[in-house]
Amino acid sequence: MKHCLSLQDFSADEVTHLVRLALKIKKNPQQYNQLLRGRWLLMLFQKSSTRTRLSFEMGIKQLGGNSVVMDWDASNFAISPIRYEARYVSQHAHLIMARLKTHTDLLKLAEYSRVPVINGCDDTFHPCQALADLTTVFETAGTFQHQTLCYVGIHNNVANSLALGCARAGVHLILVTPEANKPAHKTEMLDKLEADGHLSRTLDVKQAIAKAGFVYTDTWVDMEFFKDPAYQDEKERRLKTMLPYQLNRENMGDSDAYILHDMPIHPGYEITEDLVESPRSLIYRQAENRLYAQQALALHLLDTPLP
Ligand code: CP
């Protein structure tokens, strides 16, 4: 049984297969619309979501399957060891997607689940997002060859998953990440990817953007802290430190790179409104591709014969 806890769980061939399959489903959805008939997806949420919730729920239904949503904190996952609850819920589902606060809890869930578990974003990885991002790069460029993606922002779960995904796809990644979310910073993994030539790191934002065909940013403050009064001082400090790294016209210079953002967007912080709405913005296509990338992932994890 295979899980998707991070893109470390997938080979280069598997990542390419998932991206190609996602685009095939997008082109001909009717060929896939009964493949998961009778299958149930359980979605566990410990944090809020718009895209992950909608795209998984619609995605599984479009493949002929069904889904149930469970709020972690309103369930007994909140008051009992994960191993017992995981064994129980996985008797009723064929697939689990979990958005949990910590990767440690996700690993426990997967250890005791009887069915494949998909990481719907935790403090360390966001593999579904990276699969959708790579699908968008491939759809736009027609190839992964000679593609460079520059990620500018806080080093977080999205940056980790991009690092792994780009390495597998053969897309060169430039990281411009002056600050890191501490639990997310996988120093050893990043050092190895850099030593192997898959990524480079710099703080020269203008030079990095000038080298890239795709420029990507994400929130400077994680969703669970954005409105937390206890986090306000750190939020203010971060905003000041990160402002020189905002995606804006000045930092873009003469670049006509495509603009990526995994959403939710905080205009005026990590990106200016004009870039969100610019003709080079792929942000909504990238968000739309979550659905197809996750459909491909579900079919793959469930070993579904393809048409
Ligand atoms: N990008 C992303 O995961 O969006 P949500 O947090 O809305 O699910």
Q: In this predicted model, what pLDDT tens digit does every residue of 106-131 receive, in sequence order? A: 999 999 999 999 999 999 999 999 99
Q: Which domain holds residue 48?
A: 7-125+290-301
In degrees and rounded to multiples of 5, residue 114 shows phi and psi of: -90, -5
**Residue 229 binned pLDDT confidence (cut-offs 50, 70, 90):** confident
The closest of 65, 54, 52 to 4, measured between CA atoms, is 52
> Do 150 and 118 lie in a common domain?
no
Whether ligand 1 lies within 6 angstroms of the CB of 51 is answered as: yes
Residue from 44, 49, 97, 101 to probe ligand 1 pocket by mutation (most atoms less than 8 Å from CB): 49
Measured in angstroms, how far is the CA atom of residue 116 from the centroid of ligand 1?
A: 21
In a domain, 1, yes or no: no
Measured in angstroms, how far is the CA atom of residue 195 from the centroid of ligand 1?
A: 31
Mean pLDDT of 97-105: 97
Closest ligand 1 atom, residue 50 Cα: 7
Return the structure tokens found at 287: 């968000």
In a domain, 255, yes or no: yes
Q: What is the dihedral of CA 148, 149, 153, 155, to 10 degrees?
A: -90
> Do 25 and 171 lie in a common domain?
no
In a domain, 15, yes or no: yes
Whether ligand 1 lies within 6 angstroms of the CB of 168 is answered as: no
Mean pLDDT of 43-52: 97
- Which residue in this structure is represented by tokens 């910590």? 102
How many folded domains does the chain comprise? 2
pTM: 0.97
Q: 153 pLDDT exceeds 70?
A: yes
Weakest-pLDDT range from 36-40, 193-197, 229-233: 229-233
Measured in angstroms, how far is the CA atom of residue 307 from the centroid of ligand 1?
A: 30
pLDDT of residue 92: 97
Q: 236 pLDDT exceeds 90?
A: no
Measured in angstroms, how far is the CA atom of residue 206 from the centroid of ligand 1?
A: 28
> Do 282 and 133 lie in a common domain?
yes
- Render pLDDT for 1-11 as a digit per residue (tens, 0 to 9): 999 999 999 99
Closest protein CA for atom 7 of ligand 1: 50
> Do 261 and 118 lie in a common domain?
no
Weakest-pLDDT range from 167-171, 239-243, 249-253: 239-243
> Do 43 and 157 lie in a common domain?
no
Residue 151 β-bridge partners: 175, 216
Whether ligand 1 lies within 6 angstroms of the CB of 104 is answered as: no
Domain containing residue 174: CATH number: 3.40.50.1370
- Render pLDDT for 51-78 as a digit per residue (tens, 0 to 9): 999 999 999 999 999 999 999 999 999 9
Q: 223 pLDDT exceeds 80?
A: no
Mean pLDDT of 262-278: 97
Q: What angle do CA 200, 205, 208 make, to 5 degrees?
A: 45
> Do 141 and 114 lie in a common domain?
no
pLDDT of residue 150: 98
Closest protein CA for atom 4 of ligand 1: 51
